[in-house]
Structure 1
Amino acid sequence: MQGKHLTQKERFYIEKRRDNGVNQSTIARELELPRSTISRELRRNTDAAFNGVYSCRRAENLARGRRQKARPDNVEPHIQDVILQALSTHLP
């Protein structure tokens, strides 16, 4: 199964449903997502400094930052060269 990123709309839905006391399994069913996706989202993006309250805005900013950090253009050029050279030896 191919992963996908949660949308802002989905994060907003998670926030509102959590505020209403709905559990993770129910939210996952309603969004037609694996329960693990909801669990991971809440674990990664719930701030303990705010008494464990989930914020969709904060979650979106954190996720955007993680995606940006993981981009290949953030890798130093000499590391990119090593990776490309190693990959080229495995091509048919």
Structure 2
Amino acid sequence: MGIKAALPKYEIYSYYVMLCLAMFWATSWIFEVSNSNINRKAFKASVKPSYFGRKMDTSDFEWMMWFSTFRAHILFALSGHVLFAKICSMLAPQPL
């Protein structure tokens, strides 16, 4: 389907360099933020034991959302995704 041609080597290398620079930039931000909050005592007070030996930050919105609001609905949501994917794969035309 369409014309298949490889990209020039200099273009591939430039994409690779840009990707690496973006990854280093994002990593430096993560490292800077984690180092700035390393000795925060308020953080330690909000950490409580969770499932499977993991620690849960009760002040984190996402942790509390998944383990309080969505806890009752997660099995329904996952089974709905599986059923929807199965129906779509059955109805989609199969390649010969």
Whether the TM-score (by the shorter chain) exceeds 0.5 is no
**Greater relative contact order structure (CA < 8 Å, 6+ sep):** 1
TM-score of the aligned structures, taking structure 1 as reference length: 0.30
**Larger CA Rg, structure 1 vs 2:** 2
TM-score of the aligned structures, taking structure 2 as reference length: 0.29
